Amino acid sequence: MSQTEFRRYILSSEFKQLLQCYEQTVASGEHAYFDTDDLIDIAEYYNIKKDIDASVGAAEYCLQQSPGEVLALQLLARTCLTEYKDAGQAQAYIDQLGDDNSAETVLIKAEALLLKDERQQAFDMLAVEYARLQEDAQTGGVDAVGYTDDEEDEEDCQGDVLECFPLDVAMLLCDYDCFGEAERWMGGYSQAPAEMLFEYWETWGRIYHATGRLQQAADALNKAIDDDAYSVVTWIQLCDVQYQMARVDDALQSAQYALALDAGNEDALMYKACCLLEKKQFDEASNVFEKVVSLYPENPRPHILLGAIALEKGDAGEVGRQFTAALEKADYDIMVILDVGQLMFEMGFVDATYRLFRILFEACIQEQNEGGRMTLPPNLVEVLAECSRQLGKQDEYEYYKSFIPQRDDDMPF
């Protein structure tokens, strides 16, 4: 079953009844028998909903009922890798898979290597597996088609594993920012696999986006959405691409579509608010940012942008309160603040960026004076110097510029 088919399935009354029955059983503390495939579907559903504890619970329920179940072990190993970034615990589940050499298990083993930054070993493992699948296809081995003779009528088989394997690899490599290698694997297709149209175009969208080919990214993501308009993540990806292309109205519309599917989605809310801020609709943007603060109180980013809005309104006290809240919630993680400050600068909020970055600069200098190891990020002093220049603060411009590391190329400011 493809991702698109699965998303449609979990919206069906059949799945909703299954899920209700399972949740009632778990809530009662009793143990009832469920079909193994149904438990895996439930676990995958929770994964999509980002309820990772519930997903793990469903997989463990499956193992209690069917010890050694391959699909449950694979799901738990993947969860350790993708959600917990725990290669050690993932390996414990991989070990329990024993001599299973299915393509899915190989992909999981390769992901464990990628997580440990053993990229070449992962690339080699994937190449060997692809060669094995090609050999099986030539000799009639069952692995090449993904099912045995007894299972060949199963509708939930994804079709020819050999055909889909390069796409599965490319999706995995995109997750670990190996976009050049992912594009190499995708280059073998003359057309999209019939059963994975959405995955094919969504993966191209990610590759084009990551490599700066924004119009091609937008075109690919729109094709993915044409195949499955219910993917919140893809609407958000398209929104991001459109925002980078300065197509703010289009980006706002994409964020709205994402929110129509998931009203409380954090990323979609942030993009909507940023689009409204870009359009100078400050009150509307403030309302959305405040909603993010309410739903996701640990997120520092809305406080920074609320501070920028307060600055536009001339409320100096509110600026200080919001920036302070952002710093505290980020646990003074300078990279978080720099990311948002860079965004504010690019959006034209020069005064707000200047005030925020000056606070960060002084904090860095103070820690250095106290013997700390915090270093001044180059982009902090570069942007701070440029803000000073644009605001007519020539003495500060010269001062901050003196902290910019010397480079072979011309300095930007």
* pLDDT, tens digit (0-9, with 9 covering 90-100), for 132-156: 999 988 876 645 444 333 444 333 3
- 374 pLDDT band (50/70/90 cuts)? low
Q: How far is CA 26 from CA 21, 35, 54, 71, 389, in A?
A: 9, 15, 10, 20, 62
Q: How far is CA 5 from CA 44, 47, 315, 377, in A?
A: 13, 16, 51, 46
Q: Which residues contact 278 (CB under 8 A, 6 or more apart)?
A: 243, 248, 347
* Residue type at 298 in one-letter notation: E
**Digit-coded pLDDT (tens) for 275-314:** 999 999 999 999 999 999 999 999 999 998 998 898 888 8
Mean pLDDT of the chain: 88
Could you tell me if residue 371 is left (phi over 0), alpha (psi between -120 and 50 degrees) or otherwise beta? left
Q: How many CB atoms lie within 10 A of CB 32?
A: 12
pLDDT for position 187: 94
Better-predicted residue by pLDDT, 308 or 180: 180
Q: Are 204 and 187 in contact (CB under 8 A)?
A: no
Average pLDDT for residues 15-20, to the nearest whole number?
95
pLDDT for position 50: 84
pLDDT for position 153: 39
Rg (CA), the chain: 25
Percent of the chain having pLDDT more than 90?
66
Write the DSSP symbol of residue 142. G
Residue 373 has pLDDT above 60, yes or no: no
Listed range (68-72, 151-155, 225-229, 365-369) with the worst mean pLDDT = 151-155
Residue 411 has pLDDT above 50, yes or no: no
Report the predicted TM-score, pTM, of the whole model to 2 decimal places: 0.78
3-state secondary structure of 133: helix
Average pLDDT for residues 261-267, to the nearest whole number?
95
Q: What is the dihedral of CA 172, 174, 178, 184, to 10 degrees?
A: 80
Q: Which residues contact 153 (CB under 8 A, 6 or more apart)?
A: none
Q: How many CB atoms lie within 10 A of CB 98?
A: 11
Better-predicted residue by pLDDT, 188 or 171: 171
Residue 413 has pLDDT above 60, yes or no: no
Listed range (105-119, 305-319, 368-382) with the worst mean pLDDT = 368-382
**Token representation of residue 180:** 């050049």
Buried b (16+ CB within 10 A) or exposed e, 171-194: bbbbebebbebbbebbeeeeebbe
Give the whole-angstrom CA distance, residue 75 versus residue 82.
10
- 379 pLDDT band (50/70/90 cuts)? confident
